[in-house]
Amino acid sequence: MVELNVKGMMCGGCASSVEKAIKRIDADATVKVDLAAGKVSVESKADAKTLGDAITAAGYEVAA
């Protein structure tokens, strides 16, 4: 499981955008978004950098 800190998520639409960005990389990924904590947990075959790049491309900042 990969856990990423994501800045800029404010609403359910943001959570959906992040999930869709990850699903484009790995359609079988399991994604859990915690808006309050600003965290995204992902079970995926893709590595953390690839997932982070997808989230960044969707317009959000992935913090270290």
Report the distance separating Cα 63 and Cα 45, nearest Å. Answer: 21
Positive or negative torsion for Cα 49, 32, 61, 7? negative
Note the pLDDT of residue 23: 97
How big is the chain by its Cα radius of gyration, in Å? Answer: 10
pTM of the model: 0.91
Token output for 61: 């900042």
**Statement: residue 1 has pLDDT above 70:** yes
> Would you list the domain boundaries of the chain?
2-63
pLDDT, tens digit, 9 for 90 and up, residues 5-61: 999 999 999 999 999 999 999 999 999 999 999 999 999 999 999 999 999 999 999
**Statement: residue 64 has pLDDT above 70:** no
Range 2-63: architecture per CATH: 2-Layer Sandwich (3.30)
Note the pLDDT of residue 10: 93
